[in-house]
Amino acid sequence: MRDDAHGADCVIALDVGGTGMKGALLDRDLKTLRTVRTTTPRRSGPDAVTAGIATVLRDLDRSAVALGLTVRGAGVVVPGVVDEETRTAVYSANLGWRDLPLAASLEEATGLTVSLGHDVRAGGAAECRVGAAKGVRDACFVPVGTGISAAVFCDGRPVRARGYAGEIGHVVVEPGGEPCSCGARGCLETVASAAAIGRAYSARTGRRVEGAAPVAALLAQGDPDARFVWDRAVEALATALATLTTLLAPETVVLGGGLAEAGDLLMDPLRSSLARRLTFQQRPELVPAALGDMAGCLGAGLAAWDTADGTSPPPRPLGGPRVTAS
């Protein structure tokens, strides 16, 4: 907590994940005045998740009052398909929402002005404003963890497409490959997500591991099976990033999520593999994320400040045209 917090303005920022929530009170410089972490009650159903979010927002609001802070609004970011313009949680397999007017529900429950966003786009916005891609107008933020997604920024603007843009995890990199939860086969997530890397090593060796971190550790020790699984994942990521580069020509690609914590074990071979795939394309700078697991929370805070200052676009009325997934 900062000593000069008393009497200042702040916003509430909340990053809602499938297993946990990260909340904070943030000042205008995105300095953290108070933080909170708690579990997401998804096992109790979608209504319980919404109620849990409202509880965290109210608790942070009370904390702000106790500190003498004036809350200017709240930013909440969630996974799945999110339409920021209508402030709707369109779909989330993990949290059970479908076409939920989440921002309005939270406003009714808390009395706060709520800006709703997508967790990855919010993290990307934070990386572009204050992180690894600061000052870059054409950038992509690609967190690789349990799943894989992307936040795309062109000419300094986020590409949203009513919530459907950026699903790089469902680019097919191995046609006819393993089934994906989305219904397709051979998607990037089935090869290069942290969960997929752990599954692949376990299946290849008969030695069960959870996620990519143990595989990275075994790779560093010279394990040949870890090398095979890791190289396959790197090649798949490079294939997807080459497609992204050809279509969007980003200046910078920021790699985040748990896999990026492997550092040079990932970044060096990925840079080489991507370079081999590119011919005429503008080659992006490939860099690790700077903000860690607070990127989404900071992005939620940025959105809340933009709304408070009147710099966010006005909401689109519910019921307007929207692209639907087939």
**Domain chopping of the chain, boundaries:** 9-122+294-308, 134-290
Q: Is the pLDDT of residue 312 over 80?
A: no
CATH of the domain spanning 134-290, picked from 3.30.420.40, 1.10.540.10, 2.10.240.10, 3.40.50.300 = 3.30.420.40
- For 75-84, the pLDDT digits (tens) are 999 988 899 9
Q: Is the pLDDT of residue 160 over 60?
A: yes
Backbone dihedral angles phi then psi of residue 97, each to the nearest 5 degrees: -90, 150
What number of residues does the chain have?
Answer: 326
Interatomic CA distance for residues 65 and 112, integer angstroms: 13
* pLDDT at residue 3 in the model: 41
* pLDDT at residue 314 in the model: 57
* Mean pLDDT, the chain, whole residue set: 91
First vs last Cα of the chain: how many Å apart?
48
Q: Is the pLDDT of residue 14 over 90?
A: yes
Contact indicator for 160, 82 with CB cutoff of 8 Å: no
Contact indicator for 128, 138 with CB cutoff of 8 Å: no
3 state DSSP class of 152: strand
CATH number of this structure's domain 9-122+294-308 = 3.30.420.40
* pLDDT at residue 86 in the model: 93
- For 121-135, the pLDDT digits (tens) are 999 999 999 999 999
pTM score of the predicted model: 0.85
Contact indicator for 89, 128 with CB cutoff of 8 Å: no
Number of neighbours of residue 125 by Cβ within 10 angstroms: 27
